[in-house]
Amino acid sequence: MQTIRLPQELIEAIVAQTDDRSTLLDCALVCRSWAAAAQRKLFETVVLAPTLFSGLSSTITKTPIITRLHALASVSPHLLHYVKVLEFDPTCDAVHYLFGNTTTLKELRVVNFTGEMAKGIEEINTMLSIPSVTRLSVREGPLYPGEIVPLLLN
């Protein structure tokens, strides 16, 4: 039986057409060329919000998500370079340590933002200093946009 090799551009196009996480995980197991394409899609947007796993009681969800991502990045550091959008709670510790050197991060989405969190504001300001970041959105907070900008500029 003859093996057919698809051009990498075709593999990328096929993988780009799916948003189903389960399918992408399956694609990552096909072979190396499919794994790279699937990993790029899987890690395009990373969500580091503690509320993401609320209500779940498995052992893995009791470990902070930032700790799990750090462990994964220490084994496979290339995965962090696939992240283009980072959604995070500004109270998550050390987000900037993981993403501070990335050149691919384009957008920050902040959730659960309150102006009383000095630590959170510091984390956001640090993340905004990443040269590749060109967009910031703030969701799920009690502040209005006009109230956010002065806090970040301090």
Calculate mean pLDDT across residues 3-23.
Answer: 90
User: What are 89's two structure tokens?
Assistant: 């709670």
How confident is the model at residue 150, as a pLDDT? Answer: 59
- Distance between CA 8 and CA 91 in Å, rounded? 40
pLDDT digit string, tens, across residues 41-67: 999 999 886 554 444 444 444 557 788
Least confident of 14-18, 26-30, 49-53, 66-70: 49-53
Output the pTM of the full model.
0.77
Q: Which runs of E-coded beta strand occur in the chain? A: 45-48, 85-88, 107-111, 135-139
User: What are 17's two structure tokens?
Assistant: 């057409």
Q: Which domains does the chain have, with CATH numbers?
A: 1-42 (1.20.1280), 43-153 (no CATH)
